[in-house]
Amino acid sequence: AFLTPLLVSRSFGKEVWRLTCSEMTYSLGMILGGLLLAVWKGYPRRAKATLLTGTWYGMLMFGLGLAPTFGVYLLCNTLIGIASPCYNAPMTAFLQDRVPQEYHGRVFGFLQIAMSMAFPLGMLIFGPLADVMEIRLLLFIGGSGVLGVMAYSFFRKKLNF
């Protein structure tokens, strides 16, 4: 998320309107994803849905890195925004179903701590890397990591779909 403003300014131009469009399309995508979930009313198989939307997200990270024009970038950014709630909602519902109720506070508190730490840790690692590596390459590496985790999780036998 924090690499996209750098990608926009370095690849497509430093105009403020471009950065504004980048943020707005992601937000629009999240709204559309939330509306999609509200209309669709969820997934029958939450773990599988999380893996599929996680895979979609990883592929779209490649799309951001490969985007030849700003319009294609904005399309990929909107689609990533749609993927975000479609990933998080079934994952949260899956955990609510699988974790005993007396542990919900601990598990979701820990999850919140982990997610809160991920952003500054990512900035600590990828911020300096963005000064020495092409941001598109970092998106390919990140997308590959996401796809690798999704593939590992999908083929792991312990996950009950």
pTM of the model: 0.85
**What whole-number distance in Å separates Cα of residue 107 and Cα of residue 137?**
34
Residue 71 lies in domain: 3-155
Give the pLDDT of residue 147.
94
**pLDDT tens for residues 4-56?**
999 999 999 999 999 999 999 999 999 999 999 888 876 677 778 888 889 99
CB-CB contact of 150 with 54 (8 Å):
yes
| Structure-token match 């598109």, residue found | 136
**What whole-number distance in Å separates Cα of residue 53 and Cα of residue 9?**
28
160 assigned to some structural domain: no
161 assigned to some structural domain: no
54 assigned to some structural domain: yes
41 assigned to some structural domain: yes
How many separate domains does the chain show?
1
Give the pLDDT of residue 159.
56
